[in-house]
Homo-oligomer: A and B are copies of this chain.
Amino acid sequence: MATDRRRVPTIHDVARVAGVSRGTVSRVLQGGRNVSAGALAAVEGAIKETGYVVNRAARQMVTGRSGSVAFLLTEPQERLFHDPNFGVLLRACTAELAAHDIPLLLMIAGTEGERRRNMRYIAAGHVDGVLLISSHHGDTVTAELHAAEVPLVVCGKPADASARIAHVAADDRGGAREMVRYLYATGRRRIATVTGPLDTSGGVDRLAGYREALAECGLAADDALVAAGDYSRGSGAAAAEQLLGRARDLDAVFVASDLMAQGVLTVLERAGRRVPEDIAVGGFDDSEAALESRPALTTMRQPYDRISAEMIRLLLARIGGQDPAAVILPTELVVRDSA
């Protein structure tokens, strides 16, 4: 505040004001072990008085910890922020980390060059850990980070389940299953699906859940009722066209993402099929898109707030030396107008 100096106060200034040594001040900063109540109070007072804020660079030099973590996106550019889920996750992670006073570095590895630069940065120890948002089976980032022994938590199930990689995911299979059973319960018998990309766990698992539910309901699996998408709106529309062409009698479709469901809805509308009267549509995510659609989308909610909170918890545990753990969170059926 009114410190005439433009200089930022250091631990030394605090020590002088408090009448103790720098070591003691540092001990207070570290939690106050082995510090008398008197010294503690003096130091805390001095910190307030001087407006001291620790110099993270200096701390990092000796501890080797940067006190920051990376939020690494390895999706292709276009999908990045078009898909509202990323934004929601990013915001939640930022807030969660802020509560721990840990800044979040946003890293986007769209191109190969960016990927390399970011890996270099991470491997150099500039961050304490990585929150990885990527799910494509082909990509090597997960393996690289794992090999580099960087504390890592992946959002979604990593492709290579054999490696013990900490991750947090929604219960894709269970969620899909519940949605399809719901469609069945409302009287639908020709239930199609638009899948997510099948080189992601989410895509695969939701399809598996769909099939499982069909079997449980005693409905025959029919490949004509399965169309692939890539989570984008456009791919949802394309898939819907296919389905309409292949199975004119379908009366419901489970779409593996809300964005794709929007595409499906527009195609159905254009084709003159009423939703939900003629065809019921169930989405997945409960993103912004679900509320925007007309009719409002019945969907499976992914608990992004809990997902991000768990990711942070797991990452901090990892950084603290604990073993990698995995968390699968339940989804929740949100019934609106489309089914």
A117–B94 CB distance below 8 A = no
- Chain B residues in 8 Å Cβ range of A4: 149
Is A36 at the interface (CB under 8 A from chain B)? Answer: no
Q: Is A159 interfacial (CB-CB < 8 Å)?
A: no
Q: Which residues of B are found within 8 Å of A61, using beta-carbon distances?
A: 55, 57-58, 61
Chain B residues with Cβ below 8 Å from A321 are: 1-2
| List of B residues within 8 angstroms of A200 by Cβ | none
Given the complex of chains A and B, what is the CA–CA distance between A86 and B60 in angstroms?
Answer: 32
Answer whether A98 and B117 are a contact pair too, CB < 8 Å, given A1-B321, A105-B103, A108-B91: yes
Residues of B within 8 A of A164 (CB): none
Size band of the A side of the interface? 35 or more
Contact B87 A81 (CB under 8 A): yes
Report the Cα distance A321→B110, complex, angstroms. Answer: 32
Flag if A88 contacts B95 (CB, 8 Å): no
A284-296 interface bits toward B, Cβ cutoff 8 Å, 1 = contact, 0 = none:
0000100010100
**A95 (CB) vs chain B CBs: closest residue:** B108
A80 within 8 A of B: yes
Contacts of A123 in B (CB 8 A): 53
- What 8 A-B pairs are tightest by C-beta distance, nearest first? A81-B87, A53-B124, A57-B60, A57-B57, A106-B106, A103-B105, A2-B149, A94-B108
